[in-house]
Amino acid sequence: MTARSKIIGNRWESNVLKKYQDAGFEAKKTYQPAQSAGLDPGDIYLTGPQGEVIKVEVKYRRTGAGFKTLRKWIYKKDHLILCEPYVEPLVVLRFEDYIQLLGANNDRNSSMERIK
């Protein structure tokens, strides 16, 4: 039997996958046994603007634990850059802004075949 947390996580991965597809991107969920084998492929493969494969990791928190401060910081801002010593900064954006930045195109040719 699958754990409840895994079922909920899969549901959110599917929601995000649908958002990508609705925006015109070629996207698919990764193969589950690869995740359990420790290969760390991410949750979703997305075909980027130049045909590159983008690995997407989806995280869900029921209470928003760990996300609330980020939401407070990004409130009324376009994006947020998180910096700490000796590591590359991270950029946080709203999903709609991210899709716009990637430049979704509904007529995009499928290049998902090379992911298989």
Residues in the chain, pLDDT under 50: 106-116
| Segment 15-24 long-range contacts (CB within 8 Å, at least 24 positions apart) | 16/43, 16/44, 16/56, 16/58, 16/95, 17/44, 19/95, 19/99, 20/44, 20/46, 20/56, 20/99, 23/99, 23/104, 24/104, 24/105, 24/106, 24/107, 24/108
- Distance, CA of 69 to CA of 64 (rounded, Å): 9
Residue 74: predicted pLDDT: 94
Residue 114: predicted pLDDT: 40
Residue 41: predicted pLDDT: 79
Strands 79-82 and 90-93: antiparallel
- Tally of structural domains, the chain: 1
pTM of the model: 0.74
Task: Give the domain range for residue 59.
Answer: 4-115
